[in-house]
Amino acid sequence: MTHTLSMADESLAVAMPVSKNEGAGYKIHGYVFSAPAFLLLLATVIAPIVVVFIVSLTNYKLGRASLSFIGLGNYTKLLQDPYFWNALKNSAIYTAIVVPVSVGLALIVAALLSSRTRSRRVYEVIYFLPVTSTLTAMSIVWSYLLNGNIGPLATLMTSLGMKPLDFLADSDLALFGLAIIGTWHMLGFNLILFLAGFTTISKELTEAAQLDGIDSFWDRIRYIIWPLIAPTTIVVVAISCIQAFQAFDTVAVLTNGGPYGATEMLLYKINQDSFIGLKAGYGSALTVIYLILIGLFSIFQVMATNKKAHF
Amino acid sequence: MHGHGIKITNARKQFGRAEILQRIDLDIQAGEFLTLLGPSGCGKSTLLRMIAGFDQLSSGSIQIGDREITRLPPKKRDVAMVFQSYALYPHMTVAKNIGMPLEMSRLSFRQRLPGSRLFSRQVREIHREIAQTVDKVAGQLDLKPLLDRKPAQLSGGQRQRVAVGRAIVRQPSVFLMDEPLSNLDAKLRIQLREEISDLHRRTGITFLYVTHDQTEAMAMSNRVAVMQSGRIVQCAKPQEIYNRPSELAVARFVGSVAINELPVTVASGDILLAQRSLKLRAAEAPNDACTLALRPESLEAVSHDEEADFTLPLLHVEFSGSEVTLRCDASALGTDRIRVQMRAERFERLRGEGAIEDQVALRILAQNALLFSRTGQLMPAQLATRGAGR
Amino acid sequence: MALRLLHHTRTAAVHAVLILGAGLMAYPFIWMWRASFQSAGEIFGAVANPPPIWDSIAENYGRALFETPLLRFMLNGLIMTGGILIAQVLTTVICAFALAKYDFRGRKILFALVLLSLAVPAQATALPIFIVLAKVGLLDTYLSMMVPYLTSGFAIFLFHQFIKSFPDEILLAARLDGMTEIEIVFRIVMPAMLPAIAAFAIFSITFHWNDLYWPMIAIRSADMAPPTLGLLFFRSQGGGGDSFGPLMACATLVTAPLILVSLVAQRKFVQGVTMTGVK
């Protein structure tokens, strides 16, 4: 009989939302404090997205006073536009080169670097240099480095008795040229993400694994390193894909989409059609496609990050 | 500095359908040290927050002194608070932390804007006064050498003292403390317990102290209000809480060694334990199943030639300095364990006589025995030893 | 002994690979710096009598600084990145505070909006913003450079995570001390989150200093151009072999601020720039 009482004691421990309840008295503050950011988000992100959707259904041209709705006309035109498919293909090829190479190399470098203690800082700084540097400026430098007549690469190849490759002027090579720069630019970023991932593999864990008989190099990779680093890798791949699809600076500085559209990528085409060709309606339709692609990658990234958080 | 009383009338609080506080009435005297004691989730912290004004009552009223403060914002209530986590401003020095309440009350919003010190001589003057007051408070609390440090550079005890300094600097009429010692180690806790008692005596402010630690409550308070399920079960002096708990739940909660509970039956004033009559009578108690609750010191180990209530197998002997606690197997009595406490000398003497070996004979001391009804209420009936009654 | 030798060779091999990689990463910078220190002919081939290095440096950097509007570009860049940063911090900190510590209707919708904005790349919103700016005649101004970035969903999200873990008891203590809510934000919460703000500041400054896409749309005149756009103006004007040294000097100077910061505050910098990855 006495036990009923003690049970009642415990059931009293009702959890209550302390901070939430305390916040309830501050509704006005909540509105006032969030208003500036909320209105700005509305004006600079949400409203423009809506406008883009609407404009993509019209034949609006920049500078014109009139417009009329043409339904999905821009989208059907887009599907038949060889230049659109070319741009999409180029973006895909560029991504297919840059992402695996920059992620793979970053993973290798991170694995080598994670066991270094004293020299790690120095390497980190150097590998990170391209990430922070202004890509526009460095693209100008790269235009000389990859130049087939005067660049150091050409000199090296000539001295080895090969025919020098003119990366940016040759339509077969130009996309690879940009991919080289893109890889160079993104590798350090991915490296840092991987190094953060490697910190989850503690010394204690490797030691415990050794006690369990996991001591050869390959076993360690298979049972310890890869399972722990795989979630990070997925996140890195997602982020790299987003970045690769956003490639613009190198195209605008170095090739202007040329030669003969060989390097015209999605974002550059959007920019050209919207602001140079003034075809706002068509450009908006392209933007919608772009938005959907980036949105998909973002969702993928968020899902991968959430999965990682469960570890 | 002088304290004001706090009068809480019919206070209730609901969160959705859960009733966190149900009809609290509490009258705290000016200058009193009152402790709200109870297990976590019993509503004691909620009540404290209501008094501070962080949260509004669903119904009822709170008065401090003669002022009705139920709807006032925290800063207008003239209360100070020490939080469990101390809640020091992490980026400010000790001096700045202690001075903050003064800066807030003595400077207007405009005068507090950055740079105002440069333009206004008056502001500079106020800042100088604040610095003096802070210095004085720091002197009282032995914080002077630490005034330029940040909270992260202080030990737990020092942080606690800074929190106290920030609270007393503005000379409040009521001082609220929310488990202020629970983050400290045992030794420091006892030391700071004394410091807080001294502070109370020195300042004469009304202290309202919240804790789940009954030793703290017993050691420091004028009165203890034991809370359970959102209501105050008993509010009385520590001795009374300990000796005459109004409910079995209170009896269980208070006391450093758990109280012994024996299932008994009352039959026309006789108390039957395991079908045997004890040498104990409750003349006025109705016939019913009850719980006989005995503090560990209300049982006495006796030698062979003395009369005993029961004899139990001894399981374990625990020494704690001057006291010895025996743990006996009480399965024969319908309960699990019985704990008996006695002075170390007495234990040695009895063991020397051979009275405590693997069996120990125990006698109930009638004057401290407690009888609780089936529903856990203390029965008013007087308990007496059979012989003495006649 | 043999084991140790093996260990040493392995370490040496690792370093060899790392150094090779580091050399490739750094090569464009080294080449750029060297080119900015040399006269025009030198870098692409042997010149019989190269002028003394100090003359070349003085020549290249002198021309970059005083014959081109480079200083003007850098000033524009400074105003743009600074203005954006101040606006972002002011709007996002109080918004994040409201989201984390107040309960008000619409809070969840606002938070969903913030998360949604994380998935929207800045380029997608460029056209409508451009149209509006053109309508009100604000193109080619400092304001037009900053408009798309006056607040940042990412910063709100980041600061929200931080403020959420900030102890409620400190806020209660501040209220008891008599602070107003806005003072709590600026005197208590903001100083405590300076590390997070610093990391975000680096992220923001890097992004906007290096941004080419939006300035290309919003800015038409060289007077208003930030460094990235300015470099393109400069190259399209000269471009010949004669201005090659000064061009490399310009590129060096434009990249210098961020590189210097990344060397001085490497930890913070890495943290700031890679924040997008840990969100």
The structural domains of chain A, with segments of one domain joined by +, span: 17-55, 76-309
* Three-class DSSP labels, C213-231: HHHHHHCCCHHHCCHHHHH
Give A99-142 pLDDT, tens digit per residue. 999 999 999 898 888 877 788 888 988 998 998 889 999 999 99
Which residue in A198, A225, A108 sits closest to C13, CA to CA? Answer: A108
The answer to whether residues C224 and C190 touch, using CB atoms and an 8 Å cutoff, is no
Mapped to the 3 state alphabet, what secondary structure does C65-84 carry?
A: HHCCCHHHHHHHHHHHHHHH
The number of distinct structural domains making up chain B is 2
- Of residues B20, B46, B229, nearest to A8 (C-beta): B229
Low-confidence stretches of chain B (pLDDT < 50) are 388-390
pLDDT in the model for residue A311: 45
Using a CB–CB cutoff of 8 Å, tell me whether A280 touches chain C: yes
Q: Phi and psi (nearest 5°) for B61?
A: -145, 155
Name the residue range of residue B281's domain. Answer: 258-389
Q: How confident is the model at residue A10 (pLDDT cuts 50, 70, 90)?
A: very low
3-state class (DSSP) for residue B68: strand
pLDDT digits (tens, 9 = 90+) for A76-108: 998 999 999 999 999 999 999 999 999 999 998
More confident position, C27 or A206: C27
Contact A2 B261 (CB under 8 A): yes
Q: Can you tell me the distance from the alpha carbon of A49 to that of A55, in angstroms, rounded to the nearest whole number? A: 10
Q: Do B219 and B262 belong to one domain?
A: no
The answer to whether residue B1 is domain-embedded is: no
Question: Fold for domain A76-309?
Answer: MetI-like fold (1.10.3720)
| CA dist., res. A266 & res. A259, Å (int) | 16
Asked whether B356 and B301 are in contact (CB, 8 A), the reply is: yes
> In the prediction, which pLDDT does A16 show?
36
At B1 the pLDDT is 52
What are the C-alpha distances in Å from C200 to residues A85, A132, A158, A178, C278? 37, 14, 47, 29, 13
Residue B98's nearest CA partner among B54, B135, B60, B49 is: B135
Contacts of B189 (CB under 8 A, 6+ apart): B181, B216
DSSP string, C22-54: HHHHHHHHHHHHHHHTS-HHHHHS--SSPPPHH
- Chain B nearest-CA distance from A20, in A, is 11
pLDDT band at residue A201 under the 50/70/90 scheme: confident
> Does any domain span residue B153?
yes
- Tell me which chain C residues have a C-beta less than 8 angstroms from the C-beta of A267: 123, 213
* Last residue of one domain, picked from the residues B248, B269, B296: B248
Contacts of B248 in chain A (CB under 8 A): 2, 5
Which other chains touch chain A, taking contact as 3+ CB pairs less than 8 Å apart? Answer: B, C
Task: Answer whether residue B215 is part of any domain.
Answer: yes
pLDDT in tens, A218-259: 777 778 788 888 888 888 998 899 999 999 999 998 888 878
Q: How far apart are CA A2 and CA A227, in angstroms?
A: 53
Q: What is the CATH number of the domain that holds B30?
A: 3.40.50.300
pLDDT digits (tens, 9 = 90+) for A140-189: 999 888 887 777 888 888 888 787 778 888 888 889 999 999 999 999 99
Ramachandran area for residue B203 (φ above 0: left; ψ -120 to 50: alpha; else beta): alpha
| Chain A interface includes C37 (CB < 8 A) | no
Please tell me chain C's helix, strand, coil percentages from 3-state DSSP, rounded to the nearest 5: 80, 0, 20
Enclosing H/E stretch for B258: none
Q: What are phi and psi of C87, to 5 degrees?
A: -60, -45
Residue B54 is assigned to a structural domain of this protein: yes
What pLDDT, on a 0 to 100 scale, did the predictor assign at position C195?
85
Please check whether residue B253 lies inside any domain of the structure: no
The H or E element that residue B135 is part of is: helix B121-140
C-alpha to C-alpha distance for B206 and B217, rounded to whole angstroms:
15
Last residue of a domain, one of B248, B278, B303: B248
Chain-centroid distance of CA C6 in Å reads: 44
Does the beta carbon of B40 lie under 8 angstroms from any beta carbon of chain A? yes
CA-wise closest residue to A269 among A285, A47, A168: A285
- Chains A, B: CB pairs < 8 Å: 48
Residue whose pair of structure tokens reads 């006796």 in the numeric block:
B302
CA distance C40 to C50: 10
Please indicate whether, in this complex, the C-beta atoms of B54 and C191 are within 8 angstroms of each other.
no
For domain C79-278, give the CATH number: 1.10.3720.10
Looking at chain A, the whole-number percentage of residues with pLDDT higher than 90 is 36
Contact C177 B104 (CB under 8 A): yes
Region for C106 from its dihedrals, namely left if φ exceeds 0, alpha if ψ lies in -120 to 50, beta otherwise: left
CA distances from A172 to A145, A165, A255, A260 (A): 18, 10, 13, 10
| Residue of A19, A140, A291 with shortest CB distance to C251 | A140
Q: Are residues B146 and B282 in the same domain?
A: no
Distance between C277 CA and the closest CA of chain A, angstroms: 7
What does the pLDDT read at residue A20?
43
Report whether A68 contacts A58 (CB < 8 A): yes
Per-residue pLDDT at A33 exceeds 80: yes
Please give, rounded to a whole number of angstroms, the shortest distance from the CA of C55 to a CA of chain A: 22
Tell me whether residues B101 and C172 touch, CB distance under 8 A: no
Q: Is the bond into B245 cis (omega within 30 degrees of 0)?
A: no
A62 contact residues in C (CB cutoff 8 A): 131, 134
How far apart are the CA of A9 and the nearest CA of chain B, in angstroms? 7
Torsion angle of C-alpha atoms B333, B335, B336, B342, degrees rounded to 10: -70
Question: How confident is the model at residue A304, as a pLDDT?
Answer: 78
Of the three residues B230, B248, B266, the one that is the final residue of a domain is B248
* pLDDT: which is higher, A20 or C135: C135
Higher-confidence residue of A43 and C271: namely A43
Tell whether the model's pLDDT for residue A273 goes beyond 50.
yes
Interface test with A, best of B13, B17, B49, B55 (most A CBs within 10 A): B55
> Which chain B residues have any C-beta within 8 angstroms of a chain C C-beta?
49, 52-54, 73-75, 79-81, 83-85, 87-91, 100-101, 104-105, 109, 112, 166
Ranges in chain C, pLDDT < 70:
1, 40-41, 43-48, 238-242, 272-279
Q: Residue B86 and residue B158: Cα distance in Å, rounded?
A: 10
Beta bridge partners of B310: B362
Tokens of residue C67, six digits? 């014959």
Domain shared by B225 and B292, yes or no: no
Amino acid letter, C233? F
Q: What residues of chain A, 203 to 262, have a C-beta less than 8 Å from chain C?
A: 235-236, 239, 242, 246, 248-249, 252-253
In a shared domain, residues B207 and B318: no
Nearest CA in chain B to A2: B376
Of A19, A126, A145, the CB nearest to C31: A145
Please tell me which of the candidates C128, C151, C217 has its beta carbon nearest to residue A51: C128
What is the C-alpha to C-alpha distance for residues A205 and B32, in angstroms, rounded to an integer?
A: 56
One-letter amino acid at A19 equals S
Q: Which residue of B has its CA nearest to C194?
A: B91
ipTM of model = 0.86
